Chains A and B, each alone.
Chain A
Amino acid sequence: MKKDRSAFVSLVSVGVLGAVLAALAVFAPALVSAFIEHFDRPERIYLPIVVTFYAILPFAAGVLICLWKLLGNILAGEVFLPQNVRLLRSISFLLFFATIIFAVAGYFYMPFYLLGVCAAFMVLIVRVVKNCFAAAVELKEENDLTV
């Protein structure tokens, strides 16, 4: 029951983050302009930030969709499924592509390098979790096929 609540909270968080992402997609140019003006940054960083944000957007949305499906399966009591392993693999690939985008964007605006490093660490973490899931799926299958 407590586990269900925890997964539900995660699911709601994914939903909230999705809504935030959608709002950012609409207001990103205005927010970046406000950021540049407020922190007195050079105008030339406007374009790299906005372009990077919109380049990252599909990958971020993809990660949220995968997480939504994963948490839905977990809430349905189906944790160690091959489908969940595939979802985790997809998340790691999406994060990997995001890392590449950040690495390229870092050339135009240095702080993106930092985000790239963070994304790279997340790729590694998700891959390790995926490997654990894959091992657990095998164990479950063996257990299910033990008569």
Chain B
Amino acid sequence: MSIRINLDVEMAKKKISSGALAEQIGITQANLSILKTGKAKAIRFSTLEAICEALGCQPGDILEYVDDGKE
């Protein structure tokens, strides 16, 4: 996948647990896990907005494009 999720890095910086973040942004821990492990196929703007608000960061801090050579 060419979009890397750096959510765990941001969470570690802010020292926030998965449970607490899931509760703050209003999604289940299972869905947060899907996002953290890179299994998610899409992310809603509302979820991204809630994550950025909770972690005090920008979308670019969470999502990173990586050129893995795949077209």
Q: Interface 1/0s, chain A 121-147, versus B by CB < 8 A? A: 000000000000000000001100111
A-B interface contact total, Cβ < 8 Å: 23
**Chain B stretch 12-55: residues in CB contact (< 8 A) with chain A:** 27, 31-32, 34-35, 39-44, 47
**Chain A stretch 93-147: residues in CB contact (< 8 A) with chain B:** 141-142, 145-147
Chain B residues with CB under 8 Å of A142's CB are 41-42
Q: CA of A146 to CA of B46 in the docked complex: distance in angstroms?
A: 12
Chain A interface category by residue count: under 10
Interface residues of A, dominant DSSP: mixed
Q: CA of A146 to CA of B44 in the docked complex: distance in angstroms?
A: 7
CB-nearest residue of chain B relative to A146?
B42
Chain A nearest CB from B52 CB (Å) reads 14
Chain A residues with CB under 8 Å of B32's CB are 147
Chain B residues with CB under 8 Å of A147's CB are 27, 31-32, 34-35, 40, 42-44, 47
Across the A-B interface, the 9 shortest Cβ-Cβ residue pairs? A145-B41, A146-B42, A147-B35, A147-B31, A147-B40, A142-B41, A145-B40, A147-B43, A147-B47
Chain B residues within 8 Å of A, Cβ to Cβ: 27, 31-32, 34-35, 39-44, 47
